[in-house]
Amino acid sequence: MAIVPKRKHSQARRDKRRSNVWKLEAPTLVKCPQCGELMVPHKVCGKCGYYKGQEVIKKEA
């Protein structure tokens, strides 16, 4: 047997519960040690192509 609510929840109460679901976090960014450009950590730098001090992708300057 299903339990049914006795009273309707107000819109404010419903919306307060749902408000935290859709928040997005800004991505973490660090400076590339090679060129100083902001990049996502643990990824190859999109500007210079270096990762952990080694050239991974050949970039034309």
> Is the backbone of residue 35 left (phi > 0), alpha (psi -120 to 50) or beta?
alpha
Res. 52: pLDDT tops 80: yes
Backbone torsions φ then ψ of 18, nearest 5 degrees: -85, -10
| Extents of the domains making up the chain | 29-61
**26: Cα separation from own chain's centroid:** 5
Q: Which two tokens stand for residue 35?
A: 């060129």
In terms of phi and psi (left: phi > 0; alpha: psi -120 to 50; beta: otherwise), the region of 33 is alpha
Is the pLDDT score of 61 beyond 80?
no
Average pLDDT, the chain: 90
Look up residue 39 and give its two tokens. Answer: 């990049």
- pTM, rounded to two decimals: 0.55
